[in-house]
Structure formats: structure tokens, C-alpha cells
Chains A and B, each alone.
Chain A
Amino acid sequence: MRSLILQVMTRGLTPLLLLFSVYLLLRGHNSPGGGFAGGLIASSVLVLFALVFGVQETRKALRVSPLSLLVSGLAIAVLSGLVGWFEGGDFLQAWWYGREVEIIHHFGTPLLFDLGVYLTVLGAMLTMVLTLIEEA
């Protein structure tokens, strides 16, 4: 799609929206938001990017393949679950570390899990949509 307005807007909005998706990811444990919502927003931003600048350009801008994002997301989520075992609790049990900070409240395994979800959603969405755009 060659529309100047769309191109300029997308260029400006992409970093802002990605930042917003990360904000949602970080505040997600105790307030509305979270890894899934954040991941969906990030992937819709990148889908917009792909529609405007083409799939090739998007893959180049991403540097890593969507499938690798998916793999690392899943791996992080599983690892966050394993922490519970090593600390002597159950699988996926939440463990918290450090002191309270703004937005995030606490560092802990739920945040790690959410990061995994974020990457998984992003990777899965991009794998699907980019393939569909390429085929069409």
C-alpha cells in the first residue's frame, strides 16, 4: 500500500505503540493489561507495519524470525514455571524478589511468565499473518 499519510503515521506510531505494549506487559500483574494484551498490541503494530511497508521490510526490521520469538517466549514461560520447583514449591507457583518499584510493583516469576506470553503471542501472530499476507 503506497499511501504517504499512512507511511508517515506508521513510522511515527510504531515506536510509541511498541512502548505502550511494553507498558501494558509490565503493569499487567495487578492491573488490566498483561502479556497477552501487550503481545496482541505489539503484533497489530507490526502487522500494520507489514501492510504499509511490505512483508520483506518487516522481516528485515524484526531481525529475528517470528518463529524464534515464539520459541523463546515458550521457553521463558516454562522456565518461569520451573522456578517454583527449585524454590521448593509447586510448578508455576509465584515467587517474588527484590523491593517494590513503580508500575511493576514486584519482580517475580509472574512477570517472567508474562514476558513469555508476550513473546509467544507476538511470534505466533506474526507467523500466521505474515504467511497469510505473503500467500495472498
Chain B
Amino acid sequence: MLVMALLIGGLIAAGLYLMLRRSVAKLIFGIVLVGHAVNLIVFSSGGLLHAGSPVVEEGRKTLVHPHPDPLPQALVLTAIVIGFSVQAFAIVLIKRAHQAAETDDFDRMDTTERDG
């Protein structure tokens, strides 16, 4: 549990640091890292224990005790899929923005802030 907490903290710290940089390329790495950290939060929200998988075995009607909570696993699977598609879009968008603006610097992508 402690290892998990430290890992999540480290990932978020690194991810936010990257997101706060001016370079757009680092932004995507930041998004990915924070995304992983959040998935880990959801994953560990049902508690962590050393036990088998929450799959009903052949010939049984219920799960064998002790078993982990299956719901966070289902949630995190959904979250990973969503995160994956969003990140794929983000990469393409950043590539296009980089090509259109001819810069990697967030501060110079400011045409929408000006009138005209």
C-alpha cells in the first residue's frame, strides 16, 4: 500500500512538472503520467491484497475467499480504454498544432488570445 501511494505521488509530481513546462511535447508525457497515476488510484480503491483473480472458477457458483474487489478492476479497465483513446487523440492534436504553429513553445501559441 505504501509503495503504491509513493508511486502514485511520484507519477503525479513528475506528470504535473512536465505539464507545466512550456514545451508542448512534454505536455503529452505529463498527461500520460498523470493518467497512469489516476488509474492506479482507481485500481487500489478497492484495497490491495495478495489473492487470486476475481473470476468465478469452472464449476463454482461464487468467488473463492479471499478475493479482491472486482469492481475497481472493471472500472480501471474502462478508464484505461478511455485514457488510451484520449491520449491517442492528444498526440495527433499536438502534432498538428506543432506543425501549424511552427513552434514547440506554449507561450507562443497565443493567436486565440489576441483580437483580430
B6 at the interface (CB under 8 A from A): no
Contact between A32 and B55, CB atoms less than 8 A apart: yes
Classify chain A: how many residues form its interface, as a range: under 10
**Chain A residues near B53 (CB, 8 Å)?**
32
Contact between A128 and B88, CB atoms less than 8 A apart: yes
B51 at the interface (CB under 8 A from A): no
Sample of 4 more A-B contacts, CB < 8 Å, known A32-B53, A128-B88: A31-B55, A36-B81, A128-B92, A132-B92
9 pairs, A vs B, C-beta closer than 8 Å: A30-B56, A31-B55, A32-B53, A32-B55, A36-B81, A124-B85, A128-B88, A128-B92, A132-B92
**Chain A residues near B92 (CB, 8 Å)?**
128, 132
The total of chain B residues at the interface (CB under 8 A) is: 7
Q: Which 6 A-B pairs have the closest CB atoms?
A: A128-B88, A32-B55, A36-B81, A31-B55, A132-B92, A124-B85
Interface residues as binary, A94-136 with B (CB distance below 8 Å gives 1, 0 otherwise): 0000000000000000000000000000001000100010000
Q: Bound state CA distance, A36 and B78, in angstroms?
A: 11
**Chain B residues near A36 (CB, 8 Å)?**
81
**Chain B residues near A31 (CB, 8 Å)?**
55
Question: Separation in Å of the A33 CB from the closest CB of chain B?
Answer: 11
Question: Separation in Å of the A132 CB from the closest CB of chain B?
Answer: 7
Q: Bound state CA distance, A132 and B92, in angstroms?
A: 8
**Chain A residues near B81 (CB, 8 Å)?**
36
Interface residues as binary, B70-112 with A (CB distance below 8 Å gives 1, 0 otherwise): 0000000000010001001000100000000000000000000
Q: Bound state CA distance, A32 and B92, in angstroms?
A: 32
**Chain B residues near A128 (CB, 8 Å)?**
88, 92
Interface residues as binary, B29-68 with A (CB distance below 8 Å gives 1, 0 otherwise): 0000000000000000000000001011000000000000
Complex: chain A residue closest to B95, CB-CB: A135
Complex: chain B residue closest to A125, CB-CB: B88
Complex: chain A residue closest to B56, CB-CB: A30
Q: Bound state CA distance, A124 and B56, in angstroms?
A: 31
Question: Separation in Å of the A42 CB from the closest CB of chain B?
Answer: 16
Complex: chain A residue closest to B91, CB-CB: A132
Question: Separation in Å of the A101 CB from the closest CB of chain B?
Answer: 16
Q: Bound state CA distance, A31 and B85, in angstroms?
A: 25
Complex: chain B residue closest to A135, CB-CB: B95
